[in-house]
Amino acid sequence: MLMMNQGVNTQTIASVDPNSLEGRYVVDVSQGQTSSYNPTAYESEAAPWTMHRVDNHSTENGILSNSSYHHDHRTQQLARSAQDSLNTASLASSSTQGTMSVTQDHSGYAAYNPTDPYGYGSSGYSSYYNNGYQQQPNHAYSQQQPSHSYSQQQPSHSYSQQQPSHSYSQQQPSHSYSSTGGAYQNTGAPYQPLSSFQNTGSYTGTTSYSTTYYNPGDYQTAGGYPSSGYSNQTSLWNDPNNANYTSQQYSTYAPDTTSAYSSGTAASTSMNYEQHYKQWADYYSQTEVSCAPGTEHLSAASTSNLGSAVSGVYPTSNTQPPASFTPASWRPESASSELPSLQTGATISSTHDGWKQGTPSFQNHHASPTQPHFQISHESKASYDNIQEQQQTAPQAPNSQFPAAHQVTQSYQSTLQNAPSLDTRRVSRMQIPTNPRIASNLALGLSKTDKDGPTNSAAAKPAYISVSMPKPNDKVLSNDATNSMLKPGMFPNSLRRYVERAFNLCKDDTQRVACQAIMKEIITKATADGTLNTRDWDAEPLFAIPNAEAVNMDSQCPTPVSSSPRYKRSPGRRSKSRWEPLPEEKSVDKPVSISNDIVKYDGWERKPPSVNSESKWNALNNMKFSLSEQKLPSKNTQRPAKRQHLADGLNAANNDASSDSDKEQSLTAYYSSAISIANTPEEKKRRESRSKRFEKVQGHRAEINYLKQKNAGAGNLYSRRASALMLNKSFDDSGSKAVEDIDWDALTVKGTCQEIEKRYLRLTSAPDPSTVRPEEVLEKALLMVQNSQKNYLYKCDQLKSIRQDLTVQRIQNQLTVKVYETHARLSLEAGDLPEYNQCQSQLKTLYAEGIEGCHMEFAAYNLLCVILHSNNHRDLVSSMSRLTEGAKKDKAVKHALAVRAAVTSGNYVMFFRLYKEAPNLNTCLMDLYVEKMRYKAVSCMSRSYRPTIPISYIAQVLGFSRTSDGNDEKDSDGSGLVECVEWMNTHGACLTTDNSGEIQLDTKASSSSLYMPEPEDAVAHGDANLAVNDFLTRTSL
Amino acid sequence: MAYLSMGEAHRRITEYLNRFSEAVSFQDGASLKQLLSVSSNSPSLLSLADSLNVFQDANRLIKQSDKYSQFGEIIAPFFRCLQSYRIGNLLDAYHAFEKAANAFLPEFRNWESAWALEALYVIAYEIRILAERADRELASNGKSPEKLKGAGSFLMKVFGVLAGKGPKRVGALYVTCQLFKIYFKLGTVHLCRSVIRSIETARIFDFEEFPKRDKVTYMYYTGRLEVFNENFPAADHKLSYALMHCNPHHEANIRMILKYLIPVKLSIGILPEDRLLEKYGLVEYSNVVQALKRGDLRLLRQALQEHEDRFLRSGVFLVLEKLELQVYQRLLKKIYIIQKQRDPSKAHQMKLEVIVKALKWLEIDMDLDEVECIVAMLIYKNLVKGYFAHKSKVVVLSKQDPFPKLNAKPVNS
């Protein structure tokens, strides 16, 4: 395997050669990797892997939709720029992972296993672990000193976990691949080689993965966007790994060639790296394409790995801010890593590698998490850009690149140091402000955050910003941010633009809402990751709007996952994280408290922390070198300055680390144990529980996603939507594709919910097909409501939800009319005029479209409504003039017109006669006017009658006797009479009793004493339907 | 279209430009007005439009000299408007004219004196006419007509320029009237309120100082608004003012005023002569008047039914419908007179059965309760003096003036 890896490396080198710088780098890397990697790489890899895995998990949880997006982007971006592709790849990978995790969450790990050839499920993981890690560990680890611990660790926990991350990435790819099919197999083969690579170093392993991924990715790209995206993602993941590797190599180089580095322009070299990155990215795309075929994969993979590695390195440096997420973990990890590094002392380079790897992995993780949420690729791109800039500034030599890497590592270290020491963090903060980019980003970020996500995001964002600027700073900041130190308002301009772009994609309000939600989550995630500022938002692919929910879910998921799963997974890791914050204590605390810290941090973070620590250590080792180098780079840009700070911090950390080298070793052991734990069944259980938690947290969303996934298989609307959206995004990014290509039909909601009963809830985001009922179900629901014996409030609620589903699905047919008519009638019966008016206005347009219904009935209602409730003569005249001749012959309309005549002439006798013989629900509308009419009638009577009027007559004329059904005339003495007397009394009428004992209205006395009493059911807010009692009954439904 | 040489076209365009700049420089509002009245179809403008269609590069001519180019923003779109109008593209004509009008407005604002009021009137008128025609074009193409609305908002801008102190204020009423026309056409009558308020409240000088034609138009429209509000005395006042000051030779205008004034007068008890109705072709009211005179409820209902559409469209249907009570009053009065002839001592006691019988003769089937209600309403509305005795079902009329005349007062409501 080692040989294979080496061979690959050499191949890659050869291919790289065309680009002298790249080639050199590659060579160096390969050399360094091979040499130092084997020992260190494993360790570092293991840590990074774990980190990656954790990140992946977290990202996976959140990122399903994103992944798809990422895919598109990646595919497009691949063509664009290697960086983009890398970024996207990392994003995609993260996203894919996120998707994977999501799927896992939903279906559970077990589900994953079956679905994925590789086996996402815990079993899959284990298998992966076993396969990859075990193999790797066996090979490289066994060889390496650390390998002992590592091998143990790897096989047992950390490695398995780390590998799982690999496996995750693989699995994810496999998911996508599963669709692609053949490609996966190919990838599978590469994977194995990768494992062999692992022997050479974690690098090789990762590279092989990446390559395999890439290949699949390429295939996928050729075939379907999603698959390509996955592959890209995987590649990204690989890239991160690679990056880590490269970083490791760099670090190793740095230590080894510290002199050379120092001599060389570190900054410039770093810049070169970035450039290389781009080149690499290009290569990636190219290589990927070429590789896709198959055997070439290895070489392609290697190249891609290199590129990825480069990218990884860059990202790492850049991503360190993203790492901010992990900052805590990082710090702990760094501490732990430091310890390991100390332990490995001899294999400083290896440790460096490991560190670097870890850092890269961290970066990757960060990028991936962030990307998944936002469009991590952007961030990564940003980081890339930064790197590129640096590289550009100092493109002089590959060596320089290495120094850059060193710097990066140093920066990490510094960050780690910072983490341990608050002061350093503060320093980093200070640095952050100094950085113009950061400052601008912060300011921008604030606005963006405001837009996207309220306080949380804002708070997180600040942290991110700081993090993003200088990685160490970011970390510190992130920590601070986590501590609510960050300024909420600070968002980078690029993020703003990103948000704008995202919103521009929105086609309608629902999408905008969804988009907003997604953005919110992305930003929060980014802030949480600390990648807010580091990300290149401009380059970040836009998320698919429909996926917004998924994203939300993802974002939600990650947090829960991180909290619980992390804990469960690797206590040791946690300890590392703790270590990071307190480097000095690391050695001591690590074993004890690591678990807690690690728990706090995501599994990813944990691993990264370790990596970081390692990187730090490496950095420390390299630090000196890198410091000098860093100083040089610092000239280049803010980053250099940051790096310097970091380097300083690293130096400090190194010092501590050096002192704690023994401790570190112990820590590494811890790590390994922790890692091994991760792989254990317990870990699996934890993961499952995590996934469950996710489901709980996500609730509907998770379910939705699940459904989506279920449906997704072939032509899931969701996936289609997502793809469409992705296309949009990709279009946006690349501008190469036309908007017309978007499958708009795919964006229309088609409900899948089979529940007949559904409570109405006002939509605050894009409707979820799984909660929307299709037409058949709605018909049943309508029938159910019509036959329901429950009260109006229940029916109203149900009808509103039916209406919503109809609206959401843009169903406008006879069913729609029926629903509105039913609701209008019900609301009339209940005297709920506001609701009736809503239905009436809808019916008006529906009738106008020629849909059949009870047009006349509702024309009559409309007429009555105007007559009785708006004293607007113009409206009345216009609505009368709009009646057709046919309508005027309709019984209901005729009745309404007669009522109008009675009202305008004040003919109360006629009015109450019409009241009694009203067709349909005209009575209900007239009911609302009865009181007024009675009062008018009685005041008229009391003016014109002398001396008295028998109450019985009034009761009969004014419809009081109506209460006794049927023969009201004869029954007029009954309840109607009592009611009439009551009414008279409440309206101030003077009643007398004549000789025969009949109650009479004293007209003369009453003419001056009549008054209109305040309505008994008057409510302050004017709507009796909102009365508390009704509300309570409604909620109890 | 006769052949038009390029030179001739050039000459005509240059001539127009000369006239325009001269009109402005001599502050000759009357000339300027003629130059801007697109829809007047004046021969000079038609030939200019033809020339513009032949000589396509009119903008070059405008830019030739400062004299012209200073009004280029007005003239260039105006030329386009003329061209489009000539070829019947009213939508484009409206758009171009709106552009020209918008360019004209700041110029007008800068002119100290009100010499260009005439020209502004033409612009206000033309933009309304063009908008109406453009809307018709839009509607025939199945698109939503919205240009008149746009013209309305432009005129509100013009109103803002005019309403204030100074000599230009006298033009405000004209613009107001154009706005009324637009709002009544669009059915957005409520928008009139703000314009009316600014005319009636901030009266820096007397209403009478406005041009007479504007006053008449203004009174006509505000009177119509009062009819909608069923504020009959105010409607009577405004419409009568319009009728009094309307040019007697403009019979169409008089007819329009009478269309609303007659129902208003009827509802306050003043009946027109048949001659008037015949003269102005308002025979739809003659049966209503007859019914009122005879107390013939059936005739009134027939008349209302016959002309329902027309009355509904003009918005007087409800006003006329309310005349029913007066018809009842007339009917009761006739019964009273007959009873008085037969037995003066018992004339003031009117049995309900008699009224029901009378209505039966009119082929109107109403039972006792309903008639009782009508009588109660009559007494309540002060159309009959007296009271109703429920026990004996007898209307006891006042011995003094049992059927008071309305005397130009509306029925109590």
Q: Which residue of A has its CA nearest to B391?
A: A949
**Nearest of A38, A41, A43 to residue A149 by alpha carbon:** A43
List chain B residues with CB under 8 Å of A1000. none
Q: Residue A133 carries which DSSP code?
A: I
- Minimum-distance CB partner of B388 among A907, A944, A957: A944
Chain B contact residues (CB < 8 Å to A): 187, 189, 228-230, 309, 312-313, 315, 317-318, 321-322, 324-325, 369-370, 372-380, 387-390, 396
Looking at CA atoms only, how far is residue A996 from chain B in angstroms? 13
> What percentage of chain A exceeds 70 in pLDDT?
24
Cα separations (Å) of A14 from A30, A214, A215, A401? 11, 19, 19, 18
The C-alpha torsion from A364 through A366 and A368 to A370, rounded to 10°, is -150
Question: CA A166, CA A160: separation in Å to the nearest integer?
Answer: 9
Mean pLDDT for all residues in chain A: 52
Looking at CA atoms only, how far is residue B44 from chain A in angstroms? 44
Q: Where are the alpha helices (DSSP H) in B201-351?
A: 212-228, 232-245, 251-267, 274-279, 286-294, 297-306, 308-314, 317-321, 324-342
Write the CB contacts of A779 (distance below 8 Å, at least 6 apart in sequence): A815
Contact B377 A906 (CB under 8 A): yes
Contact A953 B390 (CB under 8 A): yes
- Minimum-distance CB partner of B376 among A910, A941, A948: A941
pLDDT tens-digit readout, B322-341: 899 899 999 999 999 999 89
Instruction: State the burial class of residue B143 (Cβ atoms within 10 Å of its Cβ: 0-12, 13-18, 19+).
Output: exposed
Looking at CA atoms only, how far is residue B304 from chain A in angstroms? 13
**Nearest of A255, A284, A340 to residue A35 by alpha carbon:** A255
pLDDT confidence of B266, banded at 50, 70, 90?
Answer: very high
- Residue A1002 touches chain B, beta carbons under 8 Å: no
Contact B189 A909 (CB under 8 A): no
> What percentage of chain A exceeds 90 in pLDDT?
0
pLDDT confidence of B257, banded at 50, 70, 90?
Answer: very high
Q: Residue A945 carries which DSSP code?
A: B
pLDDT > 80? residue B173:
yes
List chain B residues with CB under 8 Å of A905. 321-322, 324-325, 377
Q: From the centroid of its chain, how far is CA A470?
A: 26
pLDDT > 90? residue A560:
no
pLDDT tens-digit readout, A895-923: 988 988 888 888 899 999 998 888 888 88
- Minimum-distance CB partner of B318 among A877, A906, A937: A877
8 Å CB contact between A80 and A539: no
Report the pLDDT value the prediction gives residue A744, as an integer from 0 to 100: 52
pLDDT > 90? residue B223:
yes
Substitution target from B377, B379, B383, B413 for chain A, most A beta carbons within 10 A: B377
pLDDT confidence of B292, banded at 50, 70, 90?
Answer: very high
Looking at CA atoms only, how far is residue A941 from chain B in angstroms? 6
Report the pLDDT value the prediction gives residue A959, as an integer from 0 to 100: 85
Mean pLDDT for all residues in chain B: 87
Three-class secondary structure assignment of A49-114: HHHHHHHHHHHHHHCHHHHHHHHHHHHHHHHHCHHHHHHHHHHHHHHHHHHHHHHHHHHCHHHHHH
Strand partners, A1000: A950, A992
Looking at CA atoms only, how far is residue B109 from chain A in angstroms? 38
Contact A880 B370 (CB under 8 A): no
Looking at CA atoms only, how far is residue B133 from chain A in angstroms? 24
Q: Tell me which fold the domain B324-397 belongs to.
A: Arc Repressor Mutant, subunit A (1.10.10)
Question: CA B76, CA B52: separation in Å to the nearest integer?
Answer: 11
Assign residue B389 a region: left if phi > 0, alpha if psi is -120 to 50, beta otherwise? Answer: beta
Over the range B179-200, which residues count as b (16 or more CB within 10 Å of their CB) and which as e?
bbbbbeebeebeebeebbebbe
Q: Residue A991 carries which DSSP code?
A: E
Top mean-pLDDT range of A683-692, B54-63, B95-104: B95-104
- Minimum-distance CB partner of B228 among A874, A901, A939: A874
List chain B residues with CB under 8 Å of A909. 369-370, 372-373
pLDDT tens-digit readout, A569-595: 333 333 333 344 443 333 333 333 333
Q: Where are the domains of chain B?
A: 6-210, 279-321, 324-397
DSSP string, A828-839: HHTT-HHHHHHH
Range A469-487 average pLDDT:
38
pLDDT tens-digit readout, B381-411: 889 999 998 888 899 998 888 888 887 788 7
8 Å CB contact between A674 and A570: yes
Range A745-770 average pLDDT:
78
8 Å CB contact between A597 and A581: yes
Question: CA A790, CA A796: separation in Å to the nearest integer?
Answer: 10
List chain B residues with CB under 8 Å of A907. 370, 373-374, 377
Contact B379 A943 (CB under 8 A): yes
Cα separations (Å) of A705 from A100, A701, A709, A756, B297? 12, 6, 6, 21, 73
H-helix or E-strand spanning residue A870: none
- Minimum-distance CB partner of A873 among B230, B380, B390: B230
- Minimum-distance CB partner of A944 among B189, B309, B380: B380
Report the pLDDT value the prediction gives residue A400, as an integer from 0 to 100: 35
pLDDT confidence of A424, banded at 50, 70, 90?
Answer: very low
DSSP string, B80-140: HHHHHHHTT-HHHHHHHHHHHHHHHHHHHHH-SSSTTHHHHHHHHHHHHHHHHHHHHHHHH
Top mean-pLDDT range of A117-121, A952-956, B255-259: B255-259
- Minimum-distance CB partner of A940 among B318, B370, B377: B377
pLDDT > 80? residue B224:
yes
**Nearest of A97, A24, A354, A20 to residue A205 by alpha carbon:** A354
The C-alpha torsion from B261 through B264 and B268 to B273, rounded to 10°, is 40
pLDDT tens-digit readout, B38-89: 888 888 888 888 888 887 777 788 887 777 778 888 888 998 898 889 888 8
pLDDT confidence of A307, banded at 50, 70, 90?
Answer: very low
pLDDT tens-digit readout, A95-131: 333 333 333 333 333 333 333 344 333 333 333 333 3
- The arrangement of strands across the sheet holding A948-950 comes to A948-950, A999-1002, A991-993
pLDDT > 80? residue A393:
no
Report the pLDDT value the prediction gives residue B265, as an integer from 0 to 100: 92
Question: CA A848, CA B115: separation in Å to the nearest integer?
Answer: 51
pLDDT tens-digit readout, B151-162: 999 999 898 888
Over the range A64-98, which residues count as b (16 or more CB within 10 Å of their CB) and which as e?
bbbbbbbbbbbbbbbbbbbbbbbbbbbbbbbbbbb
Give ipTM to 2 decimals.
0.82
pLDDT confidence of B260, banded at 50, 70, 90?
Answer: very high
- Minimum-distance CB partner of A905 among B229, B324, B389: B324
pLDDT > 80? residue A476:
no
CA angle A142, A147, A149 (to 5 degrees): 125
pLDDT > 90? residue A604:
no
List chain B residues with CB under 8 Å of A877. 312, 315, 317-318
Backbone angles phi, psi at A368, to 5 degrees: -60, -50
Contact A909 B372 (CB under 8 A): yes
Contact B325 A944 (CB under 8 A): no
Substitution target from A871, A880, A909 for chain B, most B beta carbons within 10 A: A909
8 Å CB contact between A724 and A737: no
Question: CA B404, CA A579: separation in Å to the nearest integer?
Answer: 105
Question: CA B134, CA B149: separation in Å to the nearest integer?
Answer: 11
Place of tokens 């402005």: B24
**Tally: H helices and E strands in chain A:** 52, 3
List chain B residues with CB under 8 Å of A945. 376, 387-390
Question: CA A108, CA A112: separation in Å to the nearest integer?
Answer: 7
Question: CA B60, CA A849: separation in Å to the nearest integer?
Answer: 51
Top mean-pLDDT range of A174-188, A332-346, A640-654: A640-654
Looking at CA atoms only, how far is residue A517 from chain B in angstroms? 37
List chain B residues with CB under 8 Å of A957. 369, 373
Report the pLDDT value the prediction gives residue B118, as an integer from 0 to 100: 87
Q: Where are the alpha helices (DSSP H) in A108-224?
A: 109-115, 122-128, 135-136, 142-143, 145-156, 158-180, 182-200, 202-223
Token output for A14: 């050869």
List chain B residues with CB under 8 Å of A944. 375-380, 387-388
Contact A881 B312 (CB under 8 A): yes
Over the range A535-548, which residues count as b (16 or more CB within 10 Å of their CB) and which as e?
bbbbbbbbbbbbbb
Report the pLDDT value the prediction gives residue A579, as an integer from 0 to 100: 41
Strand partners, A254: none
Q: Which residue of A has its CA nearest to B225?
A: A874
pLDDT tens-digit readout, B105-146: 988 888 888 888 888 999 999 999 999 999 998 888 878 788
- What count of CB pairs under 8 Å joins A to B? 74
Looking at CA atoms only, how far is residue A940 from chain B in angstroms? 6
- Residue A710 touches chain B, beta carbons under 8 Å: no
pLDDT > 50? residue A374:
no
8 Å CB contact between A942 and A992: no
pLDDT tens-digit readout, A955-1008: 888 888 654 444 444 444 466 788 888 888 888 888 888 788 788 888 888 888
**Nearest of A207, A160, A152 to residue A11 by alpha carbon:** A207
Contact B315 A874 (CB under 8 A): yes
Cα separations (Å) of B347 from A582, B344, B350, B397? 116, 5, 7, 8
- Minimum-distance CB partner of A909 among B189, B373, B378: B373
Surface of A (925-984) touching B: CB under 8 A: 937, 939-941, 943-950, 953, 957
pTM value is 0.50
Q: Estimate the crossing angle of helix B192-200 against helix B147-162, to 10 degrees.
A: 20
- Residue A870 touches chain B, beta carbons under 8 Å: no
8 Å CB contact between B351 and A888: no
Looking at CA atoms only, how far is residue B374 from chain A in angstroms? 7
Looking at CA atoms only, how far is residue A873 from chain B in angstroms? 6
